[in-house]
Structures are given as C-alpha cells and as structure tokens.
Amino acid sequence: MASDSMGFEKRYMRSIAELLGDQSLLCMSGDLHDVLRHRLSGLFTAESLCSTIKHFDALVVKALKEWKERETVFVLDEAMKITFNAICKMLISLERVEELEKLRKDVAEVIEAMLAFPFKLPWTRFYRGLKARKRVMDTLRNIIKFRRQGLDHPKDFLQSLLMKGESPFDAPLSDAKIQDNTLTLIIAGQITTASAIAWMVKYLDENQEIQETVRALHFPLEIKDPDTLLGLDVINEMTFASKIVKEALRMASIVSWFPRVALRDCYIEGYRIMKG
C-alpha cells in the first residue's frame, strides 16, 4: 500500500524523519524512493547474503558458548547484540569491539526516541535521541571520509554505494543520503530480526515436539562438516527451519505499524477511508 497507484502514500511522523534523517528511504516516496531503493537492493545480493550468513553463524556459535556460563539470558537483548554486530559488518565492515559498542549505544538511544513524545527539552528521550543521531552521523561521516581518501576499502555495502555504477540508476549518492540510509538499515535490520529470533525461541520452547524435530533434522547437517560455517547451500537444505521462521513471522507482528496516508477517498473491505 505504498504506491500512488494504490491511492496511498507512505508518511512517517515528522519526528521519525528527524531521527532517521529526511534522506532516509523510509521517509521518501515516488521517484526518489525508487532510485534509492534500487541502490539499496545491492545489500541483498547472493554474495553479500552468503558472507552475512557465515558471520551471523559465527556470532551465534560464540554467543551460545557464553550463554552456557550464565544462569539467565534475556533472549531479545542478546539477539539485539548479535543482529547489530551482523548488520554493521554487512554494511560498514565495523568489527572493532569498542567502536561497535559505542555505535550500538547511540543507535539504541535513537530507537528509544522513535516512539517518544517529540519534546526537544534536554531531559527528554527525544532530545537524547537527536543527540545520539548526531553522534551516529559523525561516526558514519568519518568512516565515509576514510573510504573516500582511499585509506580503507573493504568489500561491503558502503563501498558499493561509494562506487559509481553504469546505469543512471547507479548515480553517486551524496554523503547525507548514505549516512541517513545506513542508519535506517541498521535500525530496520536490527530490531526486526532480533524480535523474530526472540519470538522463534519462545514458540519453539512452547512446542517441544517441533523443537525436537528441527534438532533431529538439522544436527546431521552440522555433523557433515562441524568446522565450516553455514553457507547458502546448507541453508537451502533447511526447509523445515524455514517453515518455522515463516510461521513465527505469521504469528508475531514484528512490525506493528507502518503509516500510510490516503491520497483520495476509497473503500477497503467496506470501510470508508477518507483522503488524508
């Protein structure tokens, strides 16, 4: 329901645009949105997904070892850390622990501010979120500057945005667009995936039979080659696990709201929706 042809347009609250940036994909519509979306789709190439899956697997294996030593584990908090690290590696190749931790805290403050009342007074969550956004922008600006000077050029999503492509759709993006959309992707990729993991753990705990089936089906895949990290080939063999993911996404509302504005009066299933 995002396109003009459907009679609706995406319209996030002004305060969200202030936090994510007005160049963010989430705050754009029409042609600008199409161009940006085309550029960002590079994130989902088979090569990028394949290396992310391996990194994600390594992070999960490391976390599971650490969890064994603990009495209590808060799955959502832990999943937020794993998905944050995975997405930062995928987007900007950031792996240094201290820098990751600083960025993670700043992004968490931006996320908290997204659902706060937009009062810009020094003691409010919204104000703290705006300050955190500025720190995130400074961090990303420095990383981009470093790359533009040719001092660092890992093969990642940021590098693909900095390079000019062949088609008009691949025109260079301004630093502001890259920064706003990197923050958007970190947030969009982190919370959604972490919530999905937390829901799946809950559902699998409540459905022991399914949990045993998935273990029985997938342990042999690991035993084939216990030292190798997961690749797309093995993921493609995990059809039962894929059904669990889809069912968890169906049962839990990961994204509970996505605002649209009606461009003209219309009816949906008998309900009258007025323009605006």
Interface residues with ligand HEM (CB under 6 A) are: 2, 10, 25-26, 37, 40, 87, 184-185, 188-189, 192-193, 196, 249, 254-255, 258
Collapsed DSSP state (helix, strand, coil) of residue 192: helix
We find the least distance from the C-beta atom of residue 4 to ligand HEM, in angstroms, to be 14
CA 251 to chain centre: 20
Task: Give the separation between CA 209 and CA 36, rounded to whole angstroms.
Answer: 44
We find the least distance from the C-beta atom of residue 43 to ligand HEM, in angstroms, to be 6
Residue 1 or 216 having the CB closest to ligand HEM: 1
Residue 21 or 189 having the CB closest to ligand HEM: 189
H or E element in which residue 220 lies: helix 208-224
Task: Give the separation between CA 117 and CA 146, rounded to whole angstroms.
Answer: 36
Q: Which two tokens stand for residue 73?
A: 């584990």
Cβ–Cβ < 8 Å for 126, 113: yes
We find the least distance from the C-beta atom of residue 124 to ligand HEM, in angstroms, to be 25
Q: How many CB atoms lie within 10 A of CB 16?
A: 18
We find the least distance from the C-beta atom of residue 139 to ligand HEM, in angstroms, to be 18
Residue 89 or 147 having the CB closest to ligand HEM: 89
Residue 40 or 94 having the CB closest to ligand HEM: 40
We find the least distance from the C-beta atom of residue 216 to ligand HEM, in angstroms, to be 25
Task: Give the separation between CA 51 and CA 104, rounded to whole angstroms.
Answer: 21
Residue 91 or 143 having the CB closest to ligand HEM: 91
We find the least distance from the C-beta atom of residue 199 to ligand HEM, in angstroms, to be 9
Q: What are phi and psi of 261, to 5 degrees?
A: -115, 135
Cβ–Cβ < 8 Å for 245, 200: yes
In the numeric block, the tokens 């979120």 are attached to 129
Q: Which two tokens stand for residue 215?
A: 């273990």
Task: Give the separation between CA 66 and CA 241, rounded to whole angstroms.
Answer: 24
Residue 77 or 225 having the CB closest to ligand HEM: 77
